[in-house]
Structure 1
Amino acid sequence: MKVAGRCGEGSEGMVRVARGPRSAAMPHLVRGMHRVLLALTACGVVAFAGPARADELTGTLKKIHDDGVVVLGVREASIPFSYFDGKRTVGYSQAIAMQIVDEIRKTLGMTQLRVHEITVTSSNRTPMLLNNQIDLECGSTTHTVERENVAAFSDSFFQYAVRMITRKNSGITDFRDLAGKPVVTTAGTSDERLLRSLNTEKQLNMRIMSARDHQEAFSAMKDGRAVAFVMDEPIVYGFKATDPHPDDFIVTGTPLGYEVYACMFRKGDESFRALVNRVIVRSQTSGDAERLYRQWFTQPIPPRGINVNFPLSEQNRALFAHPNDHALD
């Protein structure tokens, strides 16, 4: 059951209430008042819902409070999600991460909370999280069932297909055309797993290269060391849009699968999970997520004012209407 209501002056809040056994003896009025109380508590209207006391903190929030800093894992070239524009880290996912930082500040009552960014790759992001080198990563990390064994994931903030980018004159239109050819993807990604599975199942004999990061993978395709770069559809559209000669490339191929991005944090930290999801649900159900989407996918973005031209899909529209943390694999 979901209880939603207006909070404060113009803001909105939502609390998810676990459904328990119904009691026939419980008066309808009491049940209604209970729901209202829960909703007001989530919104911060009830008097005791103020900044958390230091001695009540646990997990990531306690670490952040004690250190006086929140450490974000950021990407260097996951355009337009999390990337360095020459001055700072920007992007759709980075904007979500900074909304979460603002919520941490309010929850802890620490207006001067510092933010430290550490650049991560697809290969090292999880070890750095588990080793407490970063507290939160909101970039282009796929939520998979397998990864739930080692890390926790927020409600999803983006759904996409896995496809490939290749040169327009390559003659490649689908994955069967990659048989016997050199193909590149990024090491440590779910795309690498999907590509290797396809290679084995269809006996395509592809020569698969695993690049350190997305930029290196795109460069390998562009330089001719690989005929195609297999990756998340919005990522390859980002590289196509930012290349000096975007018309030289096409994004093609029947999707290998559909996946979702989410923020990643340490397992077993329910208070931090609740905070992160509170931010994401509020953004998606208020219309702010759609505004962010338009800003980063359908309008000019820094540093060169390119437009990714990747309109909001029906899948993402449905995700925003019904926030959830379901992996799609």
Structure 2
Amino acid sequence: MLIVSVLPVMAHATDTLSTIRERKTIIIAHRESSIPFSYLDGHQQAVGYAIDLCMKVVEAVRRELKLPALAVRYMPVTPANRLQLIAGGDADMECGSTTNTAERKRQVDFSIAYFIASAKMVVRTDSGIKNWSDLRDKTVVTTKGTTNAKTLADRGQIRSLNLKLLESKDHAEGFSMVEQRVAAAFAMDDVLLYGLKASAKNPADFQITGDSLSTEPYAIVIRKNDPAFKQIVNRELSRLMLDGEIHAIYEKWFQRPIPPQAINLNMPMGHLLRSSIRFPVDDVADLPQ
């Protein structure tokens, strides 16, 4: 059963399909270091799980518009500017590791969730840190513009941990701060931490730990008030899920060696994602618990 929220057509409704038809190009906003969702390979090309899913959507748009020669242009974005660039029309959809939240839906809209992560932290193996209470009076970093920044700040205040909070420009910089011992921990979604750890020079030097701070449903970001484009995006993602095609795409990026360093996350699909694939939704409140 597919449950899709359809937004009412407003006076200033967006018409992404007409824009794409006019320019004969679809613009995909992507991340540069969100392994394995959206990142640059050894040839500086955007690749990843989210990119593969978005390319399926591109094919659906080609069919809908009857534009076999529809071009694809990629636009690198950061956690700090990704929502603004989608809302402003600079790109047609963002394919990365962006969490669907009620607050963000005031600015943009989201597709069906294609991944569900848990917020944890990566620390050095020799740090002795096992859980959040072990961070008292320590320096912790998280990526600027992510949901983890607010969650971590709230956690520190509630538990009076006296954390010194730093913000990195992207995930790679956050991990590097732990690597260089500038910060004791990097708090981020677990799957991103697994990717960063696997690609480190010495993966055994790091461990992912801590109770889950939150559940993070990742989705394609699109502009608000565009039910026609959203319907195409959700229809194609739903097809991939209900037909089972998404499992092969997941296995490719999470359970096999991936470019450019042939790392393998060895991360089986979690039960929350398996449940959400059976009943695809784009409303955070309806996701399986």
**Corresponding position: 1:89 with 2:60:** no
**Corresponding position: 1:259 with 2:259:** no
Q: Which consecutive unaligned segments of at least 5 residues does structure 1 have?
A: 3-13, 19-56
For residues 261 and 158 of structure 2, the distance between their equivalents in structure 1, rounded to whole angstroms, comes to: 42
Match of 1:295 among 246, 252, 260: 252
Contact 2:4–2:234 under 8 Å retained in 1: no
For residues 258 and 165 of structure 1, the distance between their equivalents in structure 2, rounded to whole angstroms, comes to: 17
Instruction: Report the counterpart of residue 118 of structure 1 in structure 2.
Output: 75
Q: Which residue type is aligned with residue 192 of structure 2?
A: I
Percent identical: 37
For residues 133 and 283 of structure 2, the distance between their equivalents in structure 1, rounded to whole angstroms, comes to: 30
Deviations along 1:124-163, whole A, 9 cap, x unmatched?
Answer: 0011112211110021000011111111000100011100
Instruction: Report the counterpart of residue 315 of structure 1 in structure 2.
Output: 272
SS class of match (1:154): strand
**Corresponding position: 1:170 with 2:114:** no
Instruction: Report the counterpart of residue 143 of structure 1 in structure 2.
Output: 100
Deviations along 1:102-145, whole A, 9 cap, x unmatched?
Answer: 11111101111111101000000011112211110021000011
For residues 309 and 166 of structure 1, the distance between their equivalents in structure 2, rounded to whole angstroms, comes to: 19
Count matched residues: 279
Q: Which residue type is aligned with residue 205 of structure 1?
A: N
Match of 1:204 among 149, 161, 164: 161
Contact 2:86–2:222 under 8 Å retained in 1: yes
Q: Which residue type is aligned with residue 76 of structure 1?
A: E
Contact 2:120–2:187 under 8 Å retained in 1: yes
Taking a change above 3 Å as real, the CA distance of residues 306 and 269 of structure 1, as seen in their structure-2 partners, is same
**Corresponding position: 1:80 with 2:36:** yes
**Corresponding position: 1:156 with 2:113:** yes
**Corresponding position: 1:230 with 2:182:** no
Instruction: Report the counterpart of residue 26 of structure 2 in structure 1.
Output: 70
Contact 2:41–2:259 under 8 Å retained in 1: yes
For residues 206 and 261 of structure 1, the distance between their equivalents in structure 2, rounded to whole angstroms, comes to: 27
For residues 224 and 88 of structure 2, the distance between their equivalents in structure 1, rounded to whole angstroms, comes to: 12
For residues 75 and 244 of structure 1, the distance between their equivalents in structure 2, rounded to whole angstroms, comes to: 22
For residues 191 and 283 of structure 2, the distance between their equivalents in structure 1, rounded to whole angstroms, comes to: 20
Instruction: Report the counterpart of residue 130 of structure 1 in structure 2.
Output: 87
Greater relative contact order (Cα < 8 A, sep 6+): 2
Contact 1:259–1:327 under 8 Å retained in 2: no
RMSD: 1.8
For residues 150 and 133 of structure 1, the distance between their equivalents in structure 2, rounded to whole angstroms, comes to: 14
For residues 3 and 189 of structure 2, the distance between their equivalents in structure 1, rounded to whole angstroms, comes to: 32
SS class of match (1:155): strand
Runs of 4+ more than 2 Å apart: 14-18
For residues 3 and 62 of structure 2, the distance between their equivalents in structure 1, rounded to whole angstroms, comes to: 20
For residues 161 and 58 of structure 1, the distance between their equivalents in structure 2, rounded to whole angstroms, comes to: 33
Task: Tell me the CA shift for residue 17 of structure 1.
Answer: 11
For residues 4 and 215 of structure 2, the distance between their equivalents in structure 1, rounded to whole angstroms, comes to: 27
Instruction: Report the counterpart of residue 142 of structure 2 in structure 1.
Output: 185
Instruction: Report the counterpart of residue 10 of structure 2 in structure 1.
Output: none
Contact 2:87–2:224 under 8 Å retained in 1: no
Deviations along 1:301-326, whole A, 9 cap, x unmatched?
Answer: 11111101111111111111111112
Taking a change above 3 Å as real, the CA distance of residues 199 and 106 of structure 1, as seen in their structure-2 partners, is same
1:35-74 residue pairs with structure 2 within 5 A?
59-74=15-30
Contact 1:218–1:239 under 8 Å retained in 2: yes
TM-score of the pair, normalised by structure 1: 0.82
Contact 1:163–1:255 under 8 Å retained in 2: yes
For residues 254 and 284 of structure 1, the distance between their equivalents in structure 2, rounded to whole angstroms, comes to: 29
For residues 233 and 78 of structure 1, the distance between their equivalents in structure 2, rounded to whole angstroms, comes to: 12
